[in-house]
């Protein structure tokens, strides 16, 4: 854990320097200055989702019983709680950090490696934090909205945040690689399968819909739920 924290702090300092150069003005926060290229990338992502990812998610949902899917979701959530602990510390939220630490300890032991979630029944609330939110707390602007090929909606700050998230993701250090890739694939399919329920609410210009949904959800997370999030945890 100490080694991870050391590497994380070193990474954070590098990210701060780069992010300061890229996001030099808070006025950039909600600009979609790259809309032309963003729309093209969105179209590519939507095509790949329609032809590959969405059909695979439907098969995943059909083949695996709901209890199994829930266990996979709990397992993935338990891994992400490790990042929640670190980011709560970096954001100066000791109580939330202790709560997430308790979740990891309880779910990793009593919950059989995170397959079950007894921590929630014990009142240990899950605090969804990431490095992008940490950078927001530290005062770094969002930067322009960007659609990443094969990933989807993002922004400049979130791009740097994703690098930090990856560094503290326990799955990154899981071996053998074949097992790690299988778990990563299950995580992706689980997320997409969950989003199948909201596909039907998409209306109008899909690009604008996803952009606004993404920005609203990020604002919801960054303000710890103090603004309304019409899409819940679906995005």
Domain map (residue ranges) of the chain: 22-222
Nearest to 155, CA basis, from 94, 89, 214, 67: 214
Backbone angles phi, psi at 84, to 5 degrees: -60, -40
Q: Give the tens place of pLDDT for each residue, 172-194.
A: 998 899 989 998 999 999 999 99
Of the listed ranges 14-23, 87-96, 202-211, the one predicted with least confidence: 14-23
Nearest to 146, CA basis, from 138, 137, 155: 155
Nearest to 195, CA basis, from 232, 153, 148, 227: 232
Q: Is the pLDDT score of 59 beyond 80? A: yes
Task: State the chain's mean pLDDT as an integer.
Answer: 86
User: Could you give the CA distance from residue 41 to residue 19 in angstroms, rounded to a whole number?
Assistant: 23
The percentage of residues in the chain with a pLDDT greater than 90, rounded to a whole number, is 72
As a whole number, mean pLDDT of residues 223-231 equals 64
As a whole number, mean pLDDT of residues 50-58 equals 96
Q: Please, which pLDDT band fits residue 24 given cuts at 50, 70 and 90?
A: very low
User: Could you give the CA distance from residue 154 to residue 211 in angstroms, rounded to a whole number?
Assistant: 9
Q: Is the pLDDT score of 165 beyond 60? A: yes
As a whole number, mean pLDDT of residues 18-30 equals 46
Is 192:235 a contact under the CB 8 Å cutoff?
Answer: no
Alpha helices by DSSP H, listed for the chain, are 2-22, 35-48, 54-63, 66-90, 94-109, 118-121, 131-137, 156-167, 177-195, 206-222
pLDDT at 232: 54
């Amino acid at each position: 854990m100490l080694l991870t924290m050391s590497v994380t702090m070193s990474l954070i300092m590098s990210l701060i320097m780069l992010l300061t150069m890229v996001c030099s003005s808070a006025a950039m926060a909600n600009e979609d200055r790259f809309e032309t290229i963003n729309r093209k990338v969105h179209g590519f992502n939507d095509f790949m989702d329609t032809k590959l990812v969405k059909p695979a998610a439907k098969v995943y949902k059909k083949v695996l019983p709901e209890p199994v899917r829930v266990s996979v979701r709990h397992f993935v959530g338990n891994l992400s709680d490790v990042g929640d602990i670190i980011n709560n510390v970096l954001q100066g939220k000791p109580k939330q950090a202790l709560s997430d630490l308790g979740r990891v300890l309880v779910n990793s032991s009593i919950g059989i490696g995170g397959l079950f979630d007894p921590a929630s029944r014990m009142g240990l609330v899950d605090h969804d934090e990431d490095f992008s939110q940490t950078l927001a707390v530290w005062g770094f602007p969002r930067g322009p909205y960007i659609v990443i090929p094969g990933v989807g909606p993002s922004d400049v700050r979130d791009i740097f945040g994703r690098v930090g998230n990856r560094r503290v993701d326990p799955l990154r250090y899981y071996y053998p690689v074949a097992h790690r890739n299988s778990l990563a694939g299950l995580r992706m399919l689980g997320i997409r399968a969950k989003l199948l329920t909201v596909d039907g609410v998409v209306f109008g210009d899909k690009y604008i819909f996803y952009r606004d949904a993404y920005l609203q959800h990020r604002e919801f997370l960054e303000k710890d739920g103090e603004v309304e999030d019409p899409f819940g945890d679906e995005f």
